[in-house]
Amino acid sequence: MRFLLGVLVGYTLRGKQKLLIRFLVTLALVVYVVIPAIALLGLSIDVQRERRSRPAQTKVPVIKGLRYEDAERKLRAANLKIRILATHYDSAVQPGLIIDQTPAPGEEVACGYFVGITINKKDYEGPGP
């Protein structure tokens, strides 16, 4: 860049080689303006195409403390699906209620994503064998 600018300024000050001056100005415009503009335009098109190819996103609603049927309705309204991951006994929580969910409420996920839940068991079964 400095070399090209130096040659251009030198020939311009002397007033000679007008054809060379025009060529250097044209070359500088092509190299430093046109080619980067074309590259940025191509990059912009690629970014837009990539964004359009992503699946639609939705936020995960809060379903902790709800019954399975209510949570299923709420998730269906948000274009999500439900899956029971585990059952757990907690005496402080009413049986049949959801006590945990994955992903967490407020996270953005793809539409149709499964939300895993843990449901409170109805009765304690004691430690295993």
Domains in the chain: boundaries: 2-53, 57-120
Q: How many CB atoms lie within 10 A of CB 4?
A: 14
CATH 1.10.287.70 fits 57-120, yes or no: no
What are the pLDDT digits (tens) for 6-39? Answer: 777 777 777 767 777 778 788 888 888 999 999 9
Tell whether the model's pLDDT for residue 116 goes beyond 80: yes
Determine the pLDDT at residue 44: 93
Determine the pLDDT at residue 78: 93
Tell whether the model's pLDDT for residue 128 goes beyond 50: no
